Homo-oligomer: A and B are copies of this chain.
């Protein structure tokens, strides 16, 4: 069944993931040939530093610094883009499509910024665009959403899609460490990069949320449409407070269809979730994503969200799919954005707040605060009041309300004489 002419693969970028892609192509060569129906051949590997030592088990003669020439080779069937970032990745992918190659990438930043244009190019040149590895690493998530759930209506995607921040929060939870200390540990262990901004400020998770929301709701969601809050403001006190409520704190990516079905929202922020929720037990740098659909109900996908070999596993799965399509003269599913649902701003999201206030320890404070909630139409679920020596704290958990009303409530509370400060605000999700 295995035909003779091999399918040629160009690998652009040979960092942590690219090296593993090359390695897996080598060690699983026979299996890949049997599964695809033709052998794979590495046509070349484009790198910036050709003298760097690499452990992919591949022929060093394949190394080139001319990524543009490699991406544009007429004999290449699939280009695997593992460079990341906007440029030169975008131009190289474009060149690949123009020369008839299909593209496999893990480039979440580019997809969140320019996904529709890439899809249009793939469509124009009859090529495939696959990017399972862009969201949640090794976890099969985009293919299930695009294909397995293609006959269902997805209403919500709720997930831990950034391993670095989950590692930090897990350490804060288990050791009582503050954010700074936990970040240091994550850096020392290689879970956080030297500049952790993309992770801890939520940019990485926001790009993934944009991709997930677009696929889940068959519409277009841009990175700018995603409300984003990082975890740098999360304190050990927040986590202790969550624990007292039977909750833990996670940085969540949440994509929702509005109740009336006419718009969608996408957001990334820290939130308290009940310890009984399956996402609460996702430890260390693991990822997990909950998907709620009309007919299927609640599904969860769990696994390693990053790392060279796990991410390469997802890339190879896409590579096999692109190669099978090449042989069959077929294409995988393209962009599906027919619903054209608008993305609503954060103010319209319905959520709950956990608010911790430092207040004067005197009679009437609770009544005064409760009035502020009522004035904004926000209903209170629970209140816990503690105090001694003239200092007191008031912890309020609201019922569900629009985020705009909740944040306006907090602003009004700040103006009260009896409220000395807002110690923490955090949304409560997963119920």
Which residues of A approach B to under 8 Å, CB–CB? 1, 20, 24, 28, 31-32, 34-35, 132, 138-140, 143-144, 147-153, 218, 278, 281, 293-304, 307, 309-310, 312-321, 324-325, 328-331, 333, 336, 338-339
Contact B313 A304 (CB under 8 A): no
Of B278, B298, B316, which contacts A152 at CB under 8 A?
A: B316
Which B residues touch A35, using CB under 8 A?
Answer: 150-151, 218, 336, 338
A269 CB, nearest partner CB in chain B, Å: 24
Contact B295 A150 (CB under 8 A): no
Of B294, B297, B315, which contacts A151 at CB under 8 A?
A: B315
A300 CB, nearest partner CB in chain B, Å: 4
Contact B281 A295 (CB under 8 A): no
The distance in angstroms between the C-alpha atoms of A293 and B312, with both chains bound, is 12
Contact B140 A317 (CB under 8 A): no
Which B residues touch A152, using CB under 8 A?
Answer: 24, 28, 313, 316-317
A238 CB, nearest partner CB in chain B, Å: 25
20 A-B contacts, Cβ less than 8 Å apart?
Answer: A31-B339, A32-B151, A35-B336, A138-B296, A140-B140, A140-B144, A140-B147, A140-B148, A140-B149, A143-B147, A150-B317, A151-B313, A151-B316, A151-B317, A278-B281, A281-B281, A296-B310, A297-B309, A298-B303, A330-B331
Contact A309 B295 (CB under 8 A): yes
Which B residues touch A336, using CB under 8 A?
Answer: 34-35
A270 CB, nearest partner CB in chain B, Å: 23
Query: Taking CB as reference atom, which chain B residue is nearest A301?
Result: B301
A288 CB, nearest partner CB in chain B, Å: 8
Which B residues touch A138, using CB under 8 A?
Answer: 293, 295-297, 299
Which B residues touch A319, using CB under 8 A?
Answer: 151
Which B residues touch A329, using CB under 8 A?
Answer: 330
A42 CB, nearest partner CB in chain B, Å: 14
Contact B295 A310 (CB under 8 A): yes
Contact A140 B304 (CB under 8 A): no
Of B149, B281, B312, B318, which contacts A317 at CB under 8 A?
A: B149
A314-B34 contact, Cβ under 8 Å, with A140-B299, A299-B139, A300-B300 = no
The distance in angstroms between the C-alpha atoms of A333 and B139, with both chains bound, is 20
Contact B304 A153 (CB under 8 A): no
Query: Taking CB as reference atom, which chain B residue is nearest A304?
Result: B297
Which B residues touch A312, using CB under 8 A?
Answer: 295
Which B residues touch A309, using CB under 8 A?
Answer: 294-297
Which B residues touch A333, using CB under 8 A?
Answer: 324
The distance in angstroms between the C-alpha atoms of A1 and B123, with both chains bound, is 13
Given A140-B140, A150-B317, A293-B313, 8 other A-B residues pairs in contact with their CB atoms under 8 A: A34-B336, A140-B148, A150-B320, A151-B318, A297-B303, A299-B301, A300-B301, A301-B302
The distance in angstroms between the C-alpha atoms of A316 and B198, with both chains bound, is 38
The 5 A-B pairs with the shortest beta carbon distances in the complex, nearest first, are A151-B316, A330-B330, A140-B148, A140-B144, A295-B313
Which B residues touch A294, using CB under 8 A?
Answer: 309, 313
Which B residues touch A297, using CB under 8 A?
Answer: 138, 303-304, 307, 309-310
Contact B295 A20 (CB under 8 A): yes
Contact B278 A317 (CB under 8 A): no
The distance in angstroms between the C-alpha atoms of A297 and B149, with both chains bound, is 24
Query: Taking CB as reference atom, which chain B residue is nearest A312?
Result: B295
The distance in angstroms between the C-alpha atoms of A328 and B314, with both chains bound, is 25
Contact A34 B218 (CB under 8 A): yes
